[in-house]
Structure 1
Amino acid sequence: MNDLMELARKNEREAWSIVQELGIEQAWQDVGGKANLVGSLKCGLLMKHLDIDFHVYTDGLDVAKSFQAVAKIAAHPNVTRLTYSNLMDTDEHCLEWHLWYRVSEEREWQIDMIHILKGSEFDGVFEDVAERIFAALTPETRQTILRLKYETPDDEKIMGIAYYMAVLRDGVRSYEAFTKWREETHLDGIILWKP
């Protein structure tokens, strides 16, 4: 288990190094935004799925300014791909950015930046979720979540919130039990559960 904790710490150090190297927070600040870390890195639960999640808030959703911030970030030579979705006219009131940062041929990070209208329905929601998950963790549940993430096959994409719900809410402690839990628990769309 110490090996998994060390792997998690190693991934966290690399993630923070990438955030600093890309200047993510400053790029958004330069266009009047505030970038808040959410997700597994914020919760200290980063394992094999290399992803970094930010929710970015501005007073208005200006597509040009959003592109301006992302252009600074994506100019880095290690950024290999970028996708964009305009969801301004949905309940989510956001612009979605996903970029990929290549460390090596075998190691690539996905960075999700969701640009959200300040004051809209999801303003601050996932920050609260991350803080509540972090506060609810014990050494035993942290290790269990990291182990379940590690035991998940590389080709399976499972939302982090599924692990947290299974372990923290429903007491799942093995990958076999987690697989059964997933079969019995239908998770679709945006999951707003928090401990």
Structure 2
Amino acid sequence: MKDLEKLDFNIFLIGFMGVGKSTVSKALQRMFAMDVVEMDEIIAKRNGMSISEIFELHGEEYFRNEETAFLRESREKKNMIVSCGGGVPMRQVNVDEMKKSGKVVLLTANPETILEHVKHSHDRPLLENNKNVDYIAELMEKRREAYEAAADIVIATDGKSVYDICEEIITKVNQ
């Protein structure tokens, strides 16, 4: 397996909220000593407030513009794992920016798994009052086409360990 410290591109993890992007990115960081960036954390820090507060005070459009600005900045870096917010691939400009500097890896899971991961979280404005399998499935279906179109690689995560998911990502990005 190729040493990931020598990657001349970035890995962008996309997928529905709660699919495990943050968990997988942290595991990849431990396994391969790559830099990891949590897009939502960066945006929250830059704005001095939580994602929920950004949505409440500035609206979703402002937040989506912040995501695009971050992706444009990331073109200058290499060998980085970026854990993207769930809505990032919904804008074609974001997909274009990711593909300029890296490979886009879509992580998937079933709605029941997603609900299990997000049920105690209050940092997901689009799910806050809709934490049920039917709503999650509906929103996932609305995003599915954009997610799949954006992805260079698709990894199903249900029933797999974080280690197995990371191994699959590394194998596929090096092909």
- TM-score w.r.t. length of structure 2: 0.31
More helix by share: 2
Q: Which one has the largest radius of gyration?
A: 1
More strand by share: 1
- TM-score w.r.t. length of structure 1: 0.28
